[in-house]
Structure 1
Amino acid sequence: MKFASEFRDPVAAKALLSAIAASCDRMGATREEPVYIMEICGGHTHSIFRYGLDKLIHPGVEFIHGPGCPVCVLPMARVDECVEIAERPDVILCTFGDAMRVPGHRKSLMQAKAEGADIRMVYSPLDALELARRNPGREVVFFGLGFETTTPSTALAIQAAAREGLKNFTVFCNHITVPEPIKALLDDPDMRLDGFIGPGHVSMVIGVHPYDFIARDYAKPIVVAGFEPTDLLQSVLMVLLQIEQGRAAVENQYARVVPEHGNPVSLAAIADVYERRPSFEWRGLGEIDASGLRIRPKYRAFDAEEKFGIGYGAVHRVVPEPEGCACGAVMTGRIKPTACPQFGKGCTPDMPLGALMVSSEGACAAYWQYGGARAVAAE
């Protein structure tokens, strides 16, 4: 594990845990009156539980799980629209594996595939592009979703399709951005958040300055973090020290990967291919202004919404959550997954009711994988 073992060093982890405990004690943070720190990224949520950091850390730190799982925040209506495209007889629909089992109102993509729809899991939009080249008589649609991490690769595929003049390749664009939902959470008077652990992979693309408003306008500290245990512990300590010192800033713990101003090639591709939607629906958060991306008119020929007359380009349907599903409350950090009445009962990984139990970055999946199943069995 060269270049990884140093970030899993138990001696360093113990030292960081001691420093966190000392900071909490100096501030008087306790289990009853903790410091609330939101880890925005679902990957961080899984790392916290994988390494048991929630159990090792001082009880004066309370992790709040944020909306940083792009599959989880996708509203059911968009899944329904994707299924509608996939069920057309001339379509090959391509998607990432995480999206296959996310339930829509009628069915999931996995169920649609079992019923005969030609749906294929791919690792990259470039795989979908290659399918379009090999199948000129079929419409190949890529289900483009994700935060700024995956947005550039979809943009590059669209640019390549335009250069080649492909007529049978489109993208059903569901790419979304991170800063806008954070603002929505900070504007919610019922949310108590003292600081943030910022997403590492997203920041690798956009840099750290898109988060300046968090410190400047809301006086909350944010530290962009890596994904190893000492990365997360150091980031928590950096947040606590800012609070203790009465300051708020954007700091970059993950500087070995995240450049201050992001990746210029990726940012250029994003700017060329996409523009902001006026608003986009987020599961659990509702419509958020300028939080979604759509394909620019110059690339309209590669926009599945335009080609198939679906989604925000037509009449967007708002689909309510299933009965008893608390995905929205979990997604916004208002409750823990185990407080959902369906967790481990009506909603399990084998029979998911909500997206948070399906995705590899979902909070409910993390709770289940790292102890939630035992907790339910013990009830």
Structure 2
Amino acid sequence: MTRIVILGAGYTGIAAAIRVAVRTRRHGGRVTLVNPSARFTERLRLHQTAAGQRLADHSIGDVLAGTGAEFVRGTVTGLDADRREVALGDGRVLGYDRLVYALGTVTDTSVPGVAAHAFTYDSHDQAVRLAGRLAELESGTLVVAGGGLTGIESVTELAEAHPGLHVVLLTRDVPGSMMGPGARAHLDRALDRLRIEVRTGAEIIKVLPGGVELAGGELVHADATLWTAGTTGLPLAGDAGLTVDGRGRIVVDEALRSVSHPEVYAVGDAAAVKQPFGVLHGTCQSGIPSALHAATALAAELRGRRPRPFRFGYVHQPVSLGREDAVIQFTRPDDSPRRWRLTGRAAVAYKEIVSSSPMATYRLLKRGLVPVALFRLTAGGR
């Protein structure tokens, strides 16, 4: 019996657990999935939760039903890579023969005051707390820090849901800087329509109880501050002696195995995955394909076969701009923008399809099937 432990039950962890359980149950695999919450959180939609919308509630145990994988609820507090053991907060210790590390990343709180005074999206509960705070405010100012895709989706969603608030987006670069000029122009019109104040070139040096302080000493008042300006890996992997990069992500080989501890696979945001065009940046677009590849590679390894290398290319940058608008920037495999884009209602429909609940994908995985779109992504983004 090969003990396979998977840490983290986000999009990637659940996909890996189902895939590896299906692929190894005839070859002696015993799969255990560990997560601190029994609820599956759709992290891509936490901005909707923060806006007060109620999303479908899925139990991790129900999602795994029929796969043979066991769910263990617990918080991982330690990893001993030499003894191949995982420590949980309640004192339990889980031994493993193979480990899939799918703990993702957390908000980078290195700027003073972020941890104490800003809201983040590190959990469903934190998004619910932000929703409660905004519901208390009939007027006032909301500051969103960070002009990446998460910041853009959040600032537009929250401005639409709370038109009485003065909403400010603070960002170092222009919003949507990764997009082409046409997509950026549509984004700018949406920000104007929602009366969002955009301040570029803003460097936040401290978050305060009632606002933020910028370099140069300017204070920007805020009744609530949402921090979306960067993520980092958990210290768990580095503390265990695994080779990590500057952001705390596990450095992996072409089969997604740790370069220092090949019995450990790392997937999604937690892995520093090299491709011909560079290291992947963490998105769900690459996360689930990496989870499926790692599960397939692990199963192949247990059968004495050589795992195939992981190949991936980006396809698009889908961004919601509230419930009634969106912009889709289609990309080359290296994530640079193509000329093509979708905007408006067509983009809303497209975004809802590609970012819909992964439950349909999980049901296919239980049957041993892989959706064609994901197969094409892992084959190079064609």
Using structure 1 for the length normalisation, give the TM-score: 0.31
Bigger strand share = 2
Using structure 2 for the length normalisation, give the TM-score: 0.31
Bigger helix share = 1
